[in-house]
Structure 1
């Protein structure tokens, strides 16, 4: 915990410094949500197709989902979501001809969440 998943448009592959974003997102999770540094995990999923409204061209999407163990206040979750959006602004370069739609969601992990480390 936290479990961070980043879905992003393929057209951003060269403009998105994913490693730097993950490092910053982890630091914000530690600072804001009291996460433990070794527990921060981020995975990136590149999406080939993006459609925004009626258009298929000219748009790119980045959506970050952060799953935390229950117990954080709504204010803490909102602060973390805002911090993650700031990190996206810093680590996704503008791409000529693309409108970026960035979003972040912080949610509680389901009570059934379990893990093990080998």
Structure 2
């Protein structure tokens, strides 16, 4: 872990380079020093069907969800959220020039007793970086 997901309204196609935005978020996550490189996953998921606020066609959203394993302090989580939200807001500044865009971020801790994982990337990166 961590897994970072951006659900976004399909009307942002052509307005946002989601590949570049994923890399911005990835860099911020690694920049915290709290997560191993081999664990980081950042993805954007296009939402074709949605209904936003007053239903104007121009309304758009990006809803960001950051799922992390337990063990980080409240301050570390807050600092991480602030860094990511600031970087994404800066990257998307043009979208805030209109009154039709909403951006959200939530960080959630995963219960380790209810989480299973198998990662072949970790050993390779640990060997390279170790």
Report the TM-score range of the alignment, normalised by the length of the smaller protein: 0.7 to 0.9
Alpha-carbon displacement from aligned partner over 1:66-117 (angstroms, at most 9, x marks no partner): 1111011222222222222223223334388661100111111122212113
Paired position in structure 2 for 1:34: 34
Normalising by structure 1, we get a TM-score of 0.83
State the shift of 1:33 in Å: 5.6
Q: Which runs of no fewer than 5 residues in structure 1 stay unpaired?
A: none
Could you say which residue in structure 1 is the equivalent of 2:95?
94
Name the one with the larger helix percent: 2
> Which protein is bigger by CA-based radius of gyration?
2
CA RMSD of aligned residues (A): 2.2
Give the corresponding residue for 1:113.
115
Alignment of 1:1-118 (within 5 A): 1-32=1-32, 34-92=34-92, 93-94=94-95, 99-111=100-112, 112-118=114-120
Change (3 A) 1:24 1:96: closer
Residue 60 of structure 1: CA displacement? 0.5
